[in-house]
Copies of this chain bind each other. A is one copy, B any other.
Amino acid sequence: MAPDFSRQHGLDKLLAPASIAIVGASDNPDKIGGRPIHYMRRHGYTGTLYPINPQRTQVQGERTWPNLDALPAAPDLAIVAVAGEQAVQAVNRCAELGVAAAIVISAGFSETGAEGRAQQDAMTARARAAGMRIVGPNSQGLANFGNGAIACFSTMFLEIEPADGPVAVISQSGGMSAMVYGLLRQRGLGVRHVHATGNEADVTVADLACAVLRDPEVRIVLLYLESLQDVGALAHAAALARERGVPLVAVKSGRSEAGARAAASHTGAMASEDRVVDAYFEHHGILRARDPHELVRIAELALRSPLPQGPRVVVVSNSGASCVLASDAAIEHGLQIAPLADPTQRELVNRLPGYATTTNPIDITAALLSNNGLFGQVLPVIADDPAADMFLIDIPVAGRGYDVGTFAADTAAFAQASTKPVVVVAWQDNVAAAFRAQGVAVYADEQQATRAMAALHRLHQWQARNAGHRHALAHRDSSTSTQTNPESTTTDAFGSLHSRSSFLSESQSLALLSRYGLTVADHTCCTDADAAVAAWRAIDAPVALKACSARLPHKSEHGLVTLGLNDECTLRDAFDRQAKTLAALGIDDATWIVARMQDGLHECALGMRHDPVFGPVIMIGSGGKYVEAMQDVALLLPPFSAEDVIEKLQGLRIGTLLAGVRGDPPADIAAFARQAVQLGDCALAANGKLASIDINPVLVRAQGQGAIALDALIELTTTPDPENP
């Protein structure tokens, strides 16, 4: 995941070009080749425009050039707005002439099938060889309202007037870049960057995210993604965002199978398992929004408020019913409603009528009608109450007799003086408009408001996490990574792997995990019955006998596991039975494991899958026979800390059991968490050589008594056989 800085080559000229050629320039501002010229003239682009049109001497009042070769100098940027073969020729000529970057608006490439993809690949290869960057093809273009470089043909900038501001929007889909822009502007938020990457032959959303994060005016970056393939570059963008304290918020659509199918036919997006996407975003501190509507709601709060430093919400409303609704919504989204401190309540009693409610939520009642200054009088009283990490003001009823302007002004004055978020729910459009005009974040309902508040609280928690143990992790990561230290002994563990199938046997699997510090069950490997009996005698306690072969990964399904053996006769019987079963299956490479029977409190599981996009993904959760059916698991991307594991466990049902219920002692969660961390280290060190690891059960004992892997199955990554693909 080391950042590839060369990927930023040329992007400065893409976002701030000193000169722009428009191939296919039109005099008609409503044509694709005309609209960027119209926009750039309108929004004060101060660089040089080179409209290219062999038929006209000027378009929209600008002098034209007959072709690229006629230009006095190679422009920083070329907008290619001609179709088909003409577009390919123009891009190729740009590359030859030394143009820094081209935005290819033209469609008909990889989105149409194999032939289009081949054409796109060839065009991209020629550009790359010449050092020219390509946006698109099939891109709506890029727009930078900071300098008027609007290389984009969206109609949306005509529908809703642009205003420069702190937001950057970057989208694979052109439609969504425009719609997010539109939703932001409807909320009165200024937008600087509106970029669409289309087919992403070269420049990706992640590349542009890195680029806009170098613009110091950008205070939030919003992404719309239908696929996640460029995860290294996106991780780099996330690191830049964290460094600058800029929220990076993303929609990754195609969450469902049906949605992913639709995304595949829209942008050819490759499907990723959605919970892995969640784990990836969380790992990198990228907030995930459910859809573009929520993306914009989160942006409004992030821009208009500081981050909430805790989960406690104080609700203030002129309606008792709204107090109830807002409390329900806050709790639903994981926030808290805590009682106000006694002195605060006493002061509220002084300021509010007797029938008002002075706990939390605070119902100031229709008394607001006779005293329009009540919001202004109440808010300062609760400003510093320990129950208040943020404030939610809910105004459903505000008709005749209500001075909404005063409410808004009082609230805005309070919000500006406060270090805590202030959020308004306004049921009526005129009320929303009054508050928004004062720069206060406004939502149409309690669900929308509290979801946004919860998202920003999560961001605060992640920032706090970064300030803490993540630093230690980053350090540890670099010291154990096999990429940076190819001759470490840990690498040898994988270099020497060999197996007749794509699986390791249980004994090989346990041995490998043991080398990574995981505690595995005390066991002896044997190849005959006498050795098995000797092993049992040495253990001197009930044992399990398990026949292991890399060719039989699911041995229990074949009756090759016998438990609780504690006398020679039964042990020999079991051995014979298993040997017969193996013979019948044609397995000749089996060894036997004799393992001490173990007691513990709970059966957990650990797992790893090597995802083709995200790399190793670690699974923690409930174990036992029904691990898949119970779906009580969480995912983490390594490296992570034991604290991360414990936090995830707390969200699972097994977490409740591990804490100790029904008279059980608390379990050794710390030991299980350490095993998970070690598994993560093992997976990173394997560097793609392991396809999957299943450790089930991991027996977790009482606090202080450890956790122990009883069974394990490791699958190796198979390189496709070139003879027999």
Residues of chain A at the chain B interface (Cβ within 8 Å): 30, 107-108, 111-112, 155-156, 158-159, 173, 175-176, 178-179, 182-183, 224, 226, 253-259, 261-263, 265-267, 290-293, 315, 319-325, 327-332, 336-337, 354-355, 357, 359, 361, 363, 396-397, 399-401, 427-428, 444-447, 557, 625-626, 628-631, 653, 656-657, 661-663
Contact = CB atoms under 8 A, between A and B. Distances in A.
B357 A265 contact: yes
A261 B337 CA distance: 10
A446 B179 CA distance: 14
A52 B712 CA distance: 87
Contacts of A399: 155-156, 158-159
A178 B325 contact: no
Contacts of A175: 319-322, 396-397
Contact of A183 (B108, B427, B653): B427
Contact of A321 (B224, B255, B257): B224
Residue in A30, A183, A630 with the greatest tally of chain B CB atoms within 10 Å: A630
Given A173-B319, A175-B397, A259-B324, 5 more contacts: A155-B399, A173-B321, A256-B331, A262-B320, A262-B323
Nearest to A257: B331
Contact of A428 (B182, B323, B630, B656): B182
A445 B397 CA distance: 24
A627 to B, nearest CB: 9
Contacts of A319: 173, 175-176, 179
Given A265-B357, A661-B626, A253 B324 contact: yes
Top-5 shortest CB links A-B = A266-B320, A256-B331, A259-B328, A258-B337, A155-B399
Nearest to A171: B321
29 contacts: A155-B399, A155-B400, A155-B401, A173-B320, A175-B319, A175-B320, A175-B322, A175-B397, A176-B396, A179-B319, A179-B396, A179-B427, A182-B427, A255-B328, A256-B328, A257-B331, A259-B328, A262-B323, A262-B337, A265-B359, A266-B323, A266-B324, A266-B363, A290-B447, A291-B329, A293-B445, A557-B663, A629-B656, A630-B653
Contacts of A323: 262, 266
Contact of A625 (B258, B259, B662): B662
Contacts of A657: 626, 629
Contacts of A107: 355
A651 B315 CA distance: 35
Contacts of A400: 30, 155, 158-159
A374 B158 CA distance: 24
Contacts of A363: 262, 265-266
Contacts of A293: 444-445, 447
Contacts of A331: 255-259
Nearest to A400: B155
Contacts of A224: 321
Contacts of A178: 397
B661 A324 contact: no
Contacts of A625: 662
A397 B178 CA distance: 8
Contacts of A108: 355
Contact of A291 (B262, B265, B428, B445): B445
Nearest to A366: B175
Contacts of A158: 399-400
A200 to B, nearest CB: 14
A159 B429 CA distance: 12
B628 A661 contact: yes
A259 B447 CA distance: 14
Contact of A355 (B112, B179, B444, B626): B112
A354 to B, nearest CB: 8
Nearest to A659: B629
Nearest to A274: B328
A355 B137 CA distance: 15
B325 A292 contact: yes
A445 to B, nearest CB: 5
A159 B398 CA distance: 9
Contacts of A315: 262
A399 B259 CA distance: 26
A278 to B, nearest CB: 14
Contacts of A322: 175
Residue in A111, A182, A354 with the greatest tally of chain B CB atoms within 10 Å: A182
Residue in A258, A427, A662 with the greatest tally of chain B CB atoms within 10 Å: A258
B179 A325 contact: no
Contacts of A661: 626, 628-629
A259 B325 contact: yes
A262 B111 contact: no
